[in-house]
Amino acid sequence: MMEIPFNSPYLTGKEEKYLADVLRRRKPGGGGPYMAKTASLLEDRFSLARVFMTPSCTRALEMAFELIDLKPGEEIILPSYTFPSAANAAVLRGAVPVFAEINRDNFNLDPDDVRERITGKTRAIIPVHYGGVSCEMDEFMALGKRYDLYVIEDAAQGVNARYKGDYLGGIGDFGCYSFHTTKNYISGEGGALVINSPDQRLIEKAEIFREHGTDRARFLRGEVEEYKWVGRGSSCLPSDLQMAVLYAQLEEMDRIRGMRREIFEKYYSGLKEVLDHPLVDSISSVPEDRDVNYHLFYLKFTEQEVRDNVLGRLQERGITAVFHYQPLHSSPMGEKLGYSPGDLKVTEEIAATILRLPLFPDLNSEQVEYIIDNTKEILEKF
Ligand SMILES: *Cc1c(COP(=O)(O)O)cnc(C)c1O
């Protein structure tokens, strides 16, 4: 029997060389040359106005809320079907996360449901690009414009994917990337905040905030003679050790994307026939009008019982399939915020019936075939 993990971080081979370089120069702190190189690589490759590297995507979301001065009692609208980062970033400021529904096609935030939840207190919409498949950004940008709201893309899973030609993270007022070890390009922990808004004050505020509320960035450019504490701030620079690892990954981002694509396509062609099975609802596919990054591959069943059963049987055969997310609104913290199970029906149905297969660049053909064959066999016996 094969033992196949759910995920295994991929290394290009250059990581050690760049790490050794940082250590040899004894400059592992933040704001080093690898941070500058990763930020400009992302700006150039994705045509982004300005990128601030951060220690995580969560930190980037927190920075975005600081920059828009999100206040206690104000609201942000986001999907319940996601990771808690953006909701926490709001809660930490005394602001209110308002959970909206996702659509059944690609499990992304539903613009119609978002519109109904906009109130006088709403400040921002957070489209989360689930699995690296873009949200309907035109609709969210139109809502942002019409109701004077910020659009902050949670593109944690959306690095190197596009919507109508534009790279994700580069469409809203802000975009947030993750380079966590479970994502497509990794630095262990890591992230970036993209500022697309033409408002120059946001850039100045970000430069000050990320360096402890000081004007050190201006000092380094020779614009002031010494740097001082000038405003609100925190510590948001990633270590150059992290950025050295990330630089090695980003240099080869298209090769990595190609490896993921190959696995995704094998899964798709091997498994599309299970769509005829009465208990299978849908499987991952690439929407015709989207350019994706092959972050994940899922199967969705008609009932939770089937999902749990298939998952258990795959595990018995050494295949680590998983499910996610426990919806935020029906989690213990969601209940503390006043939500109850039953509030978001589509979200709950999808969370209960989805199963994710292993997908990482090192997964070899033999393993992919083993997973496809076993999945089909388990379903045939149903
Ligand atoms: C992974 C993830 C995050 C958190 O990213 P970190 O870099 O670990 O902070 C946030 N949102 C989504 C949708 C994610 O998938």
pLDDT at 288 (0 to 100): 85
Residue 128 Cβ contacting ligand 1 at under 6 Å: yes
Q: How far apart are CA 100 and CA 210, in angstroms?
A: 31
- With CA atoms as reference, report the closest residue to 158 among 138, 192, 126, 133: 133
- Decide whether any atom of ligand 1 lies within 6 Å of the 122 Cβ: no
Query: At residue 235, does pLDDT exceed 90?
Result: yes
Q: Which atom of ligand 1 is nearest to the CA of 177?
A: 7
Cα–Cα distance measured from residue 124 to residue 144, given in angstroms and rounded to the nearest whole number: 8
Residue 368 burial by Cβ neighbours in a 10 Å radius (0-12, 13-18, 19+): buried
Q: What is the pLDDT of residue 382?
A: 84
Residue 382 Cα to ligand 1 midpoint, Å, equals: 35
CA angle at 111 for the pair 109 and 114, rounded to the nearest 5°: 85
Q: What is the dihedral of CA 164, 165, 170, 172, to 10 degrees?
A: -20
* Entry pTM: 0.97
Per-residue pLDDT, averaged over 118-127, amounts to 98
Range 264-291 average pLDDT: 95
Establish whether residue 140 lines the binding site of ligand 1, counting it when its CB lies within 6 angstroms of any ligand atom: no
Ligand 1 pocket check for 130: Cβ under 6 Å: no
Parallel, antiparallel, or unpaired for β 122-125 and 150-154? parallel
Residue 208 structure tokens: 């000050």
pLDDT per position as a tens digit, 339-362? 999 999 999 999 999 999 999 999
Q: Is the pLDDT of residue 273 over 90?
A: yes
**Mind listing the pLDDT tens digit for each residue in 69-96?**
999 999 999 999 999 999 999 999 999 9
Residues in the chain: 382
Atom of ligand 1 nearest to the CA of 179: 7
Per the CB < 8 A criterion, the answer to whether 156 and 286 are in contact is no
Give the C-alpha separation, 216 to 121, whole Å.
35
Strands laid side by side in the 174-178 sheet: 50-54, 191-195, 174-178, 150-154, 122-125, 75-79, 96-100
Q: pLDDT for 247-267, tens place per residue?
A: 999 999 999 999 999 999 999
